[in-house]
Amino acid sequence: ACGGGGSESTVGDDGGGGGGSNGVVKIGGIFDETGATGDVGAPYADGARSYVEYINSQGGIDGVNIELISEDYAYDISRAQQIYQSLRDRHDVSAIIGWGTGDTEALRSQIIADQIPYFSGSLSENLKDTGSESGFNYLVAASYSDQGRAVLEWIRENHEGDFPVTLALVYEKGNPFSESPMQDIKDYAAEQMDGEIEIVNDILIELSDNDPLTTLQAYERNQGQPDYAITQYTWGQTRNVVRDAHNLEWNTQFIGLNWAGGEGIVPSGADNQQWVEALDGFMATITHAFPYEDLPGMEPILQYLESKGRSIEDDDVNQKFVQGWVTMSIFGEAIRIALEDYSPDEIDGVVMKEAIEQIDDLDLGGLAANVSFSPDNHAGTDRLRLGQLRDGQWEIIQDYFGISDYQ
């Protein structure tokens, strides 16, 4: 890194768990475990940490341990800024695993200046950019926009009934995360779906609006019910919107992107029958696997959990856990590549970037779609699955597919 902070006296406590290591590579983590998105952020952070513990307990990567130095920024962007400075200057990390749209955006310029590759939980299309604006960001799963485009393709192929179908976008205008894919989806529909999918007026509901009912009602009055609706919220608000549409007896098929998928959308507790009912039939894009799926990539996770006395029955081992684990494991792969040419202490941000960009069709054991990067491609994949809630459980109804299949 160019920060010049390598010589400082404050060095993090060295070495993670396992013995016999001959060096460490430091990765920084900026997670939200207690903030606004803590419900999904905490398992994600847990997954990322677990991967590191696991890999170190296996003797590291070619004998080199990963040290993950992470802090909870509680979705407070100024805190994220401080943590970033600490990771850069105090710990001199080679790469960072980040979280929300807010912190990722806020650090976008700095990581370029500091040359630190950054994997974010946020999958905004603009992070694909390989140029000067986000040149050190990488997308480890299909971008929100690609997810939305894929959903359009899926609807075109699977819709039973007449065309054109109507589709509404449900999001908060002005919210970086929520609004992120919407223009791209509209453009795609206009260019590719003419006469088949008609995007009708947006349904704008703020993330903090606890009572979307009237907005939906008003919408119905002016526009009628759409056939499909794509939402871009996290669990809580998706749930409220779908529930209220259910109460209004809408026949719309709601499809949530990325963060709407996953177990937590149905509130836990024995008394959740009302929610199970209201959410029945809800669909979401699934970028990462559920822990209960029988996949080769689950082996290490199960092994790790067992070593810790935990199991996938635990509430906190869920799809977001897998997502954190997988994201971190891509760094693991990059380190492996880097170690072919460099010694551990030579691995800085630039080397990491070089290594990441050599990743080619990395098999993630079914936990997620294979990823590839190159200097002019920072989007690891465009592939995803679709899941549907039936009786409170997610069922995969469409195996991996991606927007590139259609071009």
What gap in Å lies between CA 322 and CA 318, rounded to an integer?
Answer: 7
Position 131 contacts another protein (CB under 8 A): no
By C-beta, is 159 or 186 nearer to another protein? 186
- 3-class secondary structure, 362: strand
By C-beta, is 3 or 164 nearer to another protein? 3
Of 18-26, 37-45, 351-359, 367-375, which segment contacts another protein by CB under 8 A? 37-45
Of 9-17, 55-63, 145-153, 279-287, which segment contacts another protein by CB under 8 A? 9-17
Q: Which of 25, 67, 94, 108 binds another protein (CB under 8 A)?
A: 108
Tokens of 113: 């200046």
Instruction: Say which residues have a Cβ less than 8 Å from residue 268's Cβ, sequence separation at least 6.
Output: 315
Question: 99, 52, 405, 128: which is closest to 259 by C-alpha?
Answer: 99
By C-beta, is 138 or 401 nearer to another protein? 138
Position 383 contacts another protein (CB under 8 A): no
Question: 27, 11, 10, 2: which is closest to 344 by C-alpha?
Answer: 27
Is residue 230 within 8 Å of residue 169, measured between CB atoms? yes
Position 236 contacts another protein (CB under 8 A): yes
Of 146-154, 209-217, 281-289, 393-401, which segment contacts another protein by CB under 8 A? 209-217
Position 101 contacts another protein (CB under 8 A): yes
What gap in Å lies between CA 287 and CA 324, rounded to an integer?
Answer: 12
Q: How far is CA 179 from CA 75, 170, 204, 251, 388, in A?
A: 18, 9, 10, 24, 23
Amino acid at 308: K
Question: 218, 191, 221: which is closest to 204 by C-alpha?
Answer: 218
Q: How far is the CB of 33 from another protein (least distance, A)?
A: 5
Question: 265, 313, 258, 245: which is closest to 286 by C-alpha?
Answer: 258
By C-beta, is 147 or 398 nearer to another protein? 147
Residues in 67-96 that interact with another protein by CB under 8 A: 71-72, 74, 76-79, 81-83, 85-86, 88-90
Position 358 contacts another protein (CB under 8 A): no
Q: Which of 153, 172, 227, 382 binds another protein (CB under 8 A)?
A: 172
What gap in Å lies between CA 387 and CA 256, rounded to an integer?
Answer: 10
Q: Which of 229, 278, 367, 386 binds another protein (CB under 8 A)?
A: 278
Position 38 contacts another protein (CB under 8 A): yes
- 13 burial class (0-12, 13-18, 19+ CB within 10 angstroms)? exposed
By C-beta, is 9 or 251 nearer to another protein? 9
Q: Which of 15, 176, 365, 366 binds another protein (CB under 8 A)?
A: 176
Beta bridge partners of 139: 379
Residues in 280-309 that interact with another protein by CB under 8 A: 308
Question: 103, 59, 100, 60: which is closest to 81 by C-alpha?
Answer: 103
Position 217 contacts another protein (CB under 8 A): yes
Position 119 contacts another protein (CB under 8 A): no
- 3-class secondary structure, 214: helix
Is residue 116 within 8 Å of residue 98, measured between CB atoms? no
Position 60 contacts another protein (CB under 8 A): no
By C-beta, is 22 or 247 nearer to another protein? 247
What gap in Å lies between CA 95 and CA 117, rounded to an integer?
Answer: 5
Instruction: Say which residues have a Cβ less than 8 Å from residue 138's Cβ, sequence separation at least 6.
Output: 117, 118, 119, 127, 356, 373, 378, 379, 380
Q: How far is CA 220 from CA 38, 185, 206, 223, 252, in A?
A: 33, 22, 18, 5, 11
Position 45 contacts another protein (CB under 8 A): yes
Position 391 contacts another protein (CB under 8 A): no
What gap in Å lies between CA 52 and CA 327, rounded to an integer?
Answer: 11
Position 393 contacts another protein (CB under 8 A): no
Q: Which of 44, 119, 235, 304 binds another protein (CB under 8 A)?
A: 235
Q: How far is the CB of 54 from another protein (least distance, A)?
A: 14
By C-beta, is 76 or 346 nearer to another protein? 76
Q: Which of 102, 148, 332, 402 binds another protein (CB under 8 A)?
A: 102
Position 377 contacts another protein (CB under 8 A): no
Q: How far is the CB of 399 from another protein (least distance, A)?
A: 28
Position 52 contacts another protein (CB under 8 A): no
Beta bridge partners of 377: 374
By C-beta, is 198 or 209 nearer to another protein? 209
Position 33 contacts another protein (CB under 8 A): yes
